[in-house]
Amino acid sequence: MVTRFLPAISLLLAVILPLISRVVVSQRTDGTSFSPFSGQGEWQLLQASIGISAMHMQLLSNNKVVMFDRTDYGPSNISLPSGLCRHDMNDSVLKNDCTAHSVLYDVNSNTFRPLMVQTDTWCSSGSVRADGTLVQTGGYNDGDRVVRVLAPCTDNSCDWIEFHGYLSQRRWYSTDQILPDGRIIIVGGRRQFSYEFYPRSSTSSSPSDTQRLGFLGETTDENENNLYPFVHLLPDGNLFVFANNRAISLDYKQNRVATEFPSMPGGDPRNYPSSGSSVLLPIVDNNSGTAEAEIMICGGAPSGSFTQATLGNFSRALATCGRIKVTDENPSWAMETMPMARVMGDMVILPTGDVIIINGAGSGTGGWEFGRNPVTRPVIYHPQAMDRGTRFLVMGPATRPRMYHSTSVLLTDGRIIVGGSNPHVSYIFSGVTYPTDLSLEAYSPPYLAPEYRPIRPTVTNARGTLGYNQSFSVTFTVSMFLRMGIVSVRMVAPSFTTHSFGMNQRMVVMRTTGVSMVGPNAYRVDVVGPSTAEIAPPGYYMLFVVHSGIPSTSVWVRIQ
Ligand SMILES: *[C@@H]1O[C@H](CO)[C@@H](O)[C@H](O)[C@H]1NC(C)=O
Ligand SMILES: *[C@@H]1O[C@H](CO)[C@@H](O)[C@H](O)[C@H]1NC(C)=O
Ligand SMILES: *[C@@H]1O[C@H](CO)[C@@H](O)[C@H](O)[C@H]1NC(C)=O
Ligand SMILES: *[C@@H]1O[C@H](CO)[C@@H](O)[C@H](O)[C@H]1NC(C)=O
Ligand SMILES: *[C@@H]1O[C@H](CO)[C@@H](O)[C@H](O)[C@H]1NC(C)=O
């Protein structure tokens, strides 16, 4: 036995030793880690066609991903279940439609089934409620004041339930965010300089449910470059709202602007149709009830690009990112430059705390037919790297362009699921530069490479429900525990992603109080739950253990 093992061990050490030194060098005191992986990751085709082009995506706590596009695209490539048809006299394209425009994709089995939406979900928004149910808001035409809910189920019984006329205003291109009290705020929308809440306060919708937000009126321009405003819930309970090139902190309870931040240097717009992307960088929670918060916004398209694109002139996208630590006394933007320019990219927080920027185009803007030069290579950004020159790493290319109306979200195993892309006003599968793409792919970042298997932790036990400031422990196994490595535990809220923005996306790095060995290759990490509902609003999160920069597959936990 022993002799048979020896070659295996020396092989393991040959793999691990260079890794240890790299990992040790990159230790951080703040509990986040920076892992200079080798490799460029891997692309995998999951489905050649799911029948629709995934314009909107939300991962649910049963590992199923809700996807939908719009009902006025004409017939899709998948039939509605059990011979159902949609009859909608208000649909502008197809009044009798027996095809589906939404599917539920099961990650574990790599299968999908059609769902039924009755009214138009085009360019809408959403958020998962604290109980795990997806609440989707607004859309276009007959769907613009509709709220639709989809509760997770383990069998095939769940489908959309629609509440017509629920919203007080038409909400098309608005942004949703769950609040500490479990309500959802719905901000803006086309020609809507206001916000409202779900659930609404009365049984029927009333104009008094609407609160005015003048900032959205001020930031609109001739190309309306302030749609899908970037909204992030801050640890002090206010909302960071970024529109066009300006940012505020909004006290939505008092309906007042708490802080006006400096506008982003350069003055170029970052919101749809000049679609950049935005994330709240990982929050490090020390259970003091407060925490630092930093926002990062990347890419977009220069002022006037939309007008230029209508004239056939596709401007080079923006290559800059801005970071602002909003909790500083005098916050200011620090600008950085990406290895390539990108518009319509998605920023997705990885379990390591790094940010991947994926999908999009090198020139043009959001909107029908207005993107050019697909950027097929994702980049991974390491927010903690001291040396700016090493923060961005360029990853391996995808084979399919992911242009307007493409999406991507993080899965529990650390892969990114990528779908959609349809820059056309209907489904067009051939004879055009960027045909409608109905496929689903998964991108595996370098941390999933087999060479890291010996140090990849596997969570064996974690409690399903966490309380605020509550101590708990997570047990995990790992074949090779690195004494010098860092173990950290983080929670990620799954985002509702569309149009290059992951609504509700956030990571909270929890306070670790100790790591101990509890058996052969088995360890226990003691952790304290997040401080407050402002730092981690109630609901389901993916809990990852990261050992020496390598994440486990996550388990779902519910904070309440
Ligand atoms: C439509 O679906 C069929 C199978 O159901 C598939 O063979 C075909 O390639 C799909 N079309 C596109 C454009 O993906
Ligand atoms: C169609 O639109 C009319 C007028 O807006 C509305 O009263 C009716 O309920 C709509 N029908 C459907 C099926 O949405
Ligand atoms: C958690 O503890 C901190 C520090 O004592 C406190 O400020 C915060 O309010 C607590 N959170 C909750 C939900 O009670
Ligand atoms: C916890 O974090 C807050 C916010 O960053 C900071 O003000 C405070 O000093 C920290 N407390 C400890 C004990 O580290
Ligand atoms: C194309 O657009 C860019 C900026 O978006 C502008 O600088 C350039 O002059 C335009 N070219 C033409 C031919 O209009």
E-assigned strand segments in 3-71: 42-47, 56-59, 64-68
Instruction: Say which amino acid occupies 349.
Output: I
Distance 294 CA to ligand 3 centre (A): 21
Report the candidate in 166, 177, 238, 250 with the shortest Cα–Cα distance to residue 213: 250
Instruction: Say which amino acid occupies 321.
Output: C
Is 473 within 8 Å of 526 (Cβ atoms)?
yes
Mean pLDDT of the chain: 93
Partner residues linked to 420 by β-bridges: 406
Report the residue among 315, 316, 363, 370 best suited for mutation to probe ligand 5: largest number of ligand atoms under 8 A from its CB: 315
| DSSP three-state, residue 244 | coil
Q: Which pTM value belongs to this model?
A: 0.93
Report whether pLDDT(333) > 60: yes
3-state helix, strand, coil in the chain (%, to 5): 10, 35, 55
- Point out the ligand 2 atom lying closest to the alpha carbon of residue 142: 14
- Point out the ligand 3 atom lying closest to the alpha carbon of residue 288: 4
Report whether pLDDT(245) > 80: yes
pLDDT band of residue 535 (cuts 50, 70, 90) is very high
Q: Of the ligands numbered here, which is closest to the C-alpha atom of 343? A: 5
Q: Of the ligands numbered here, which is closest to the C-alpha atom of 535? A: 3
User: If you ran DSSP here, which 8-state letter would residue 134 be given?
Assistant: E
The percentage of residues in the chain with a pLDDT greater than 70, rounded to a whole number, is 93
DSSP character string of 410-458: E-TTS-EEEEE---SSS---SSSSS-----EEEEE-GGGSGGGGGG--E
The whole-number pLDDT of residue 107 equals 98
Residue 131: both structure tokens together: 């109980």
The percentage of residues in the chain with a pLDDT greater than 90, rounded to a whole number, is 88
Query: Which tens digits make up the pLDDT trace of 336-385?
Result: 999 999 999 999 999 999 999 999 999 999 999 999 999 999 999 999 98
Omega of the bond prior to 36 within 30 degrees of 0, cis? Answer: no
The position carrying tokens 């926002």 is 295
Is 318 within 8 Å of 264 (Cβ atoms)?
no
Tell me which residue has its CA closest to atom 14 in ligand 5.
313
User: If you ran DSSP here, which 8-state letter would residue 272 be given?
Assistant: B
DSSP character string of 24-40: HHT--TTS-------S-
Q: In whole angstroms, what is the distance from residue 71 CA to residue 216 CA?
A: 28
Burial (Cβ within 10 Å: 0-12, 13-18, ≥19) of residue 178: buried
Q: Residues 324-346: what's their mean pLDDT?
A: 98
Give whole-number Cα distances, 65 to 60, 134, 408, 504, in Å.
6, 11, 11, 15
Q: In whole angstroms, what is the distance from residue 513 CA to residue 529 CA?
A: 11
Burial (Cβ within 10 Å: 0-12, 13-18, ≥19) of residue 221: middle
Q: Of the ligands numbered here, which is closest to the C-alpha atom of 288? A: 3
* Pocket lining: 529 vs ligand 3, CB cutoff 6 Å: no
Other beta carbons within 10 angstroms of residue 518's beta carbon come to: 13
Q: In whole angstroms, what is the distance from residue 317 CA to residue 339 CA?
A: 12
φ and ψ at 73, to 5 degrees? Answer: -95, -5
Q: In whole angstroms, what is the distance from residue 350 CA to residue 356 CA?
A: 7
Report whether pLDDT(12) > 80: no
Query: Which tens digits make up the pLDDT trace of 172-194?
Result: 999 999 999 999 999 999 999 99
Q: In whole angstroms, what is the distance from residue 19 CA to residue 188 CA?
A: 47
φ and ψ at 553, to 5 degrees? Answer: -70, 145
Q: In whole angstroms, what is the distance from residue 107 CA to residue 46 CA?
A: 10
* Pocket lining: 305 vs ligand 5, CB cutoff 6 Å: yes
Question: Kind of pairing, strands 161-163 and 246-251?
Answer: unpaired
Distance 555 CA to ligand 2 centre (A): 43
Report the residue among 85, 87, 88, 90 best suited for mutation to probe ligand 2: largest number of ligand atoms under 8 A from its CB: 90
Is 416 within 8 Å of 401 (Cβ atoms)?
no
Task: Name the helix (H) or strand (E) containing 20.
Answer: helix 2-25
Residue 484: both structure tokens together: 């010098």
Tell me which residue has its CA closest to atom 4 in ligand 5.
315
Other beta carbons within 10 angstroms of residue 134's beta carbon come to: 21
Query: Which tens digits make up the pLDDT trace of 106-119?
Result: 999 999 999 999 99
The whole-number pLDDT of residue 28 equals 39
Report the candidate in 327, 274, 314 with the shortest Cα–Cα distance to residue 298: 274
Q: Which of 8-22, 159-173, 174-188 has the lowest mean pLDDT?
A: 8-22
DSSP character string of 350-390: -TTS-EEEES-EEEE-SSTT-EEEE----EEE-TT-SSGGG
The whole-number pLDDT of residue 20 equals 42
Q: Of the ligands numbered here, which is closest to the C-alpha atom of 531? A: 3
The whole-number pLDDT of residue 38 equals 63
The position carrying tokens 């979200």 is 409
pLDDT band of residue 199 (cuts 50, 70, 90) is very high
Is 274 within 8 Å of 300 (Cβ atoms)?
yes
Query: Which tens digits make up the pLDDT trace of 427-476?
Result: 999 999 999 999 999 999 999 999 999 999 999 988 899 999 999 999 99
Residue 13: both structure tokens together: 């050490």
The whole-number pLDDT of residue 37 equals 57
Per the model's pLDDT, the better-predicted residue between 524 and 208 turns out to be: 524
The whole-number pLDDT of residue 10 equals 40
Question: Kind of pairing, strands 555-559 and 465-466?
Answer: parallel
Is 143 within 8 Å of 73 (Cβ atoms)?
no
Per the model's pLDDT, the better-predicted residue between 1 and 303 turns out to be: 303
Q: Residues 98-103: what's their mean pLDDT?
A: 98
DSSP character string of 493-505: EPPEEETTEEET-
* Pocket lining: 163 vs ligand 3, CB cutoff 6 Å: no
Query: Which tens digits make up the pLDDT trace of 291-310?
Result: 999 999 999 999 999 999 99
Q: Which of 7-16, 168-177, 406-415 has the lowest mean pLDDT?
A: 7-16
Report the candidate in 403, 318, 419, 408 with the shortest Cα–Cα distance to residue 369: 403
Per-range mean pLDDT, top range of 6-10, 20-24, 401-405? 401-405
The whole-number pLDDT of residue 36 equals 47
Q: In whole angstroms, what is the distance from residue 410 CA to residue 419 CA?
A: 12
Say which residues have a Cβ less than 8 Å from residue 2's Cβ, sequence separation at least 6: none
Q: In whole angstroms, what is the distance from residue 263 CA to residue 250 CA?
A: 15
